[in-house]
Amino acid sequence: MPMDRSADPLWYKDAVFYQLHVKSFADSNDDGIGDFPGLTTKLDHLSSLGVDCLWLQPIYPSPFKDDGYDISDYTNIHPSYGTLRDFERFLERAHARGLRVIIELVLNHTSDQHAWFVEARSSRDNPRRDWYVWSDTDDRYRGVRIIFIDTELSNWAWDPVSKAYYWHRFFSHQPDLNFDNLAVREEVWNVMKFWLDLGVDGFRVDAVPYLVEREGTSCENLPETHAVLKELRAKLDAHFPGKVLLAEANMWPEDVRPYFGNGDEFHMSFHFPIMPRIFMALRLEDRKPLIDIIERTPSIPDSCQWAIFLRNHDELTLEMVTEIERQYMWDEYAKDPRARINLGIRRRLAPLMEGDRRRIQLMSSLLMSLPGSPIMYYGDEIGMGDNMYLGDRNSVRTPMQWTSGVNAGFSNADPERLWLPLVSNALYGFQAVNVESQQRNPTSLLNWTRRLIEVRRSTRVFGRGTIQFLKPANHRVLAFTRTLGRESVLVVCNLAGTAQVAELDLSSLSGAIPIEMFGGSIFPRISQQPYPMMIGPYDFYWFRLRWL
């Protein structure tokens, strides 16, 4: 029976999220850049896909030196994407379809072209001077790591205007805000309030560990940073209950755990290390990496949730793996050196799976069945490809492929004017891979993905249930149960490209009848005896367990 999720304050625990770039989704004014009116016309696609919440990449005015994460105005829309009115109209239509929307909130820093920084650097006496972190020397906070080691030599940059150094943990064109300044904290809340008043359902908060600096520390994950975040959360709960904060902290789960606080800090946080291990487990045909990381994941407050994903707008990051694992991943998934960037791989899901429909489906099934709320990346529902010849991570940010027609139905601009060229190769090009053709094909990946999400949404056990691994002797078989109250689901996956057999110890579930969730087939009743399971290459089963 469908569940009414609209009034549930913990809606994010059951939600399927969908991440998209406005500029890559649909262009309504033929300028080659996606916009809100265009996105609005595609809400039916998102609604029919079955996702619950859209996560929009930065939508703010920005000089775009960091793909929009360098914000120059927090209370407006980038003109290429439309107007605030366009955004409001989009939000209204999304909500009308039961779709929630969260947007980016970059707290740690602004663009150096933001009016706040322009004022702050204009003179040492400016009232906004203290909104940023300044120093006459570059020797404060010595030893703090530099994040972008390829481009930055120091966390301090010299400002020739006011003749002082300013602190930046990311690019030098992104000065860090000074969260010791109460006015900054107040203004950040005002920014949040501005968007919440418009109706957004929450924020994906960028780069959260770096808000506050203290001498003699790593300037990361400081108690003072947690205090700032708790303060914002308290205001959110007081004024806008039911909204969500999602933390971006690319760290080990035990290090991310404090960002949940006692349920009074972030509602959600990304679980970064699980992602490469899903890919690793599939390539190794061995469940070990996946079980290892989930078993070392600490428990979190009941009101909190992990966010898990397969691919996103960045590279498939390999920061949270060992050196041996990283080399393995590069060798197996990035044989072409062009696929490698920073400590990761700039490829989409389908090419990483070599276009193998079975593997794509298995990966998607894991995304939908492991603990946490899944975040899908736009285009993965149709198996879109990438373009490694584009710079930076633009390989995975190419325009959405709607049709096999002109510009893939993304835009009516001249093809040369598109902000990024379309993928047009024989394997993944828009002529072969597009929404329109897959809508017409009942067995397409798109329709299969719709069904997958539908089945996931049929129970809360995937979003809220506990997990228990079964660990049959055959390591190629990943089997686990998800349990919520009296409801149990058994998941069995074959990580191998060959048929496998395993005997599952289901004695604790003795008496239950497994009912396959996609087709409703009834399997033999579970007894005290080992439960034999034969499973085809890259196949998976979800069973609802019923004691009847």
Provide the minimum distance between the beta carbon of 475 and other proteins in the complex, in angstroms, as a whole number.
4
Provide the minimum distance between the beta carbon of 518 and other proteins in the complex, in angstroms, as a whole number.
26
Pairing type for strands 268-270 and 305-309 reads parallel
Contact window for other proteins (CB under 8 A) among 136-144, 149-157, 249-257, 323-331: 323-331
Segments of 24-99 assigned E as strands:
53-56
d(CA 475, CA 529): 20
Site string for other proteins, 42-81 (x = CB under 8 A): ----------------------------------------
Provide the minimum distance between the beta carbon of 332 and other proteins in the complex, in angstroms, as a whole number.
9
Q: Nearer Cβ to other proteins, position 21 or 475?
A: 475
**DSSP assignment string, 101-161:** EEEEEE-SB--TTSHHHHHHHH-TT-TTGGGB-EESSS-TTTTPPPS-TTT-S-SEEEETT
d(CA 69, CA 111): 8
325 is a site residue for other proteins (CB under 8 A): yes
Contact window for other proteins (CB under 8 A) among 64-72, 76-84, 469-477, 482-490: 469-477
Provide the minimum distance between the beta carbon of 284 and other proteins in the complex, in angstroms, as a whole number.
6
474 is a site residue for other proteins (CB under 8 A): yes
End-to-end, the C-alpha distance of the chain in Å comes to 18
d(CA 9, CA 248): 21
284 is a site residue for other proteins (CB under 8 A): yes
Q: Nearer Cβ to other proteins, position 60 or 328?
A: 328
| CB neighbour list of residue 322: distance below 8 Å, 6 or more residues apart | none
| CB neighbour list of residue 78: distance below 8 Å, 6 or more residues apart | 58, 59, 60, 61, 62, 68
Q: Nearer Cβ to other proteins, position 33 or 496?
A: 496
500 is a site residue for other proteins (CB under 8 A): yes
Contact window for other proteins (CB under 8 A) among 75-83, 118-126, 319-327, 367-375: 319-327
Q: Nearer Cβ to other proteins, position 175 or 289?
A: 289
267 is a site residue for other proteins (CB under 8 A): no
Catalytically annotated residues: 206, 248
d(CA 544, CA 487): 8
333 is a site residue for other proteins (CB under 8 A): no
Q: What share of the chain is helix, strand, coil (3-state, %, to 5)?
A: 30, 20, 50
Pairing type for strands 17-20 and 53-56 reads parallel
417 is a site residue for other proteins (CB under 8 A): no
502 is a site residue for other proteins (CB under 8 A): yes
Q: Nearer Cβ to other proteins, position 182 or 473?
A: 473
Question: Tokens 């979003």 appear where?
Answer: 463
d(CA 514, CA 509): 10
Angle at 295 between CA 291 and CA 296, to 5 degrees: 120
| Strand partners for 100 | 53
Q: Nearer Cβ to other proteins, position 156 or 328?
A: 328
Site string for other proteins, 511-530 (x = CB under 8 A): --------------------
Candidate list 119, 224, 231, 286; residue touching other proteins; CB under 8 A: 286
Q: Nearer Cβ to other proteins, position 161 or 499?
A: 499
Q: Which residues bind other proteins (CB under 8 A)?
A: 280, 284, 286-289, 322, 324-325, 328, 472-476, 496, 498, 500-502
